Chain A
Amino acid sequence: MISADYIITAAEGMHARPATALVRLVKNFKSTVSLKKGDKVVKLNSLLNILSLMIKGGDTISIIVEGDDEADAAAAIDLFFNEQLKGL
């Protein structure tokens, strides 16, 4: 299992378009990926799961990746949060 924390740097937070991109990114891997905000944990197989957390700019979230390809998945998600999210 790999876990990492991220601060959401995009001012609009995790709105519909970046959340869609994240769901699609996770679909490329076999691992189960979850997102944790506060005490709520959701699976990243659903856009509405992400949107229901109302993640705003400045919020801290955790990503938990578990599965055969967890290292590759975690690396791709790391790139998403650190590089791609602000452009979406």
Chain B
Amino acid sequence: MDKSAKTRKFLIATHGTLAAGIKSSLDIIIGAMEHVFLIQAYVDENISVETELQAILKQVNDDDELIVFTDILGGSITNQILQHAQKSNVHIISGVNLPLVIEVMLADAETPIDELISTAIDNAKEQMVYVNKLLTAQNDETVND
């Protein structure tokens, strides 16, 4: 099968409503995207993460790629996703932040998923910056030029 024919789907799974908050920001910055699922765990005590996850997985074919963004490595959401969704076409990234999700969602469909995710994580990490210190360093460079 042609690799580019795969559909890339996304799941943002977090404790509480962070997932919907990220989705709201995405809608503003990159516009509405297709194939984005959310799990907002523990907001409704009557719905388990497993139940929500199974409903989402039914919408992901074996030919699709599902990229899962979770909030905390070692947290209950990540652990439950690992427990119920460890398949070769499911790719789980913990420590979600907005730059990471944007980078992954805007990536070329032709880019191999392993390469895409590794690059996106590297770039997203670089977005975590103590800006005061960065500005101080830049100002020092200007003075020394």
A-B contact pairs, 16 of them (CB 8 A): A16-B102, A17-B28, A17-B29, A20-B30, A20-B31, A24-B106, A45-B107, A46-B103, A46-B107, A46-B119, A47-B30, A48-B103, A48-B126, A48-B127, A52-B126, A52-B127
Q: Which residues of A contact B (CB under 8 A)?
A: 16-17, 20, 23-24, 27, 45-49, 51-52
User: Is A46's CB under 8 angstroms from B123's CB?
Assistant: yes
- Chain B at the A interface: mostly helix, strand, loop or mixed? helix
**Chain B residues in 8 Å Cβ range of A24:** 106
A48 to B116, CA, bound (A): 13
Mark interface residues in B95-132 (1 if CB within 8 Å of A CB, else 0).
00001001100111000000000011001101100000
Tally of contact residues, B, Cβ under 8 A: 16
User: Is A48's CB under 8 angstroms from B124's CB?
Assistant: yes
Listed residue (A24, A48, A49, A51) with the most chain B CB atoms within 10 angstroms of its CB: A48
B119 to A, closest residue via Cβ: A46
A15 to B, closest residue via Cβ: B29
Number of A-B contacts (CB under 8 A): 38
A20 to B99, CA, bound (A): 11
Output the least CB separation between A54 and chain B (Å): 8
Listed residue (B30, B107, B108) with the most chain A CB atoms within 10 angstroms of its CB: B30
Output the least CB separation between A24 and chain B (Å): 7
Closest 5 CB pairs of A and B: A48-B123, A16-B29, A20-B30, A48-B103, A48-B99
A52 to B31, CA, bound (A): 21
A49 to B106, CA, bound (A): 12
Output the least CB separation between B110 and chain A (Å): 11
A62 to B102, CA, bound (A): 24
User: Is B108's CB under 8 angstroms from A45's CB?
Assistant: yes
Known contacts A48-B103, A51-B127, A52-B123; 10 further A-B pairs (Cβ under 8 A):
A23-B106, A24-B106, A27-B108, A46-B107, A46-B119, A47-B106, A48-B102, A48-B120, A49-B123, A52-B127
**Chain A residues in 8 Å Cβ range of B31:** 20
A49 to B124, CA, bound (A): 10
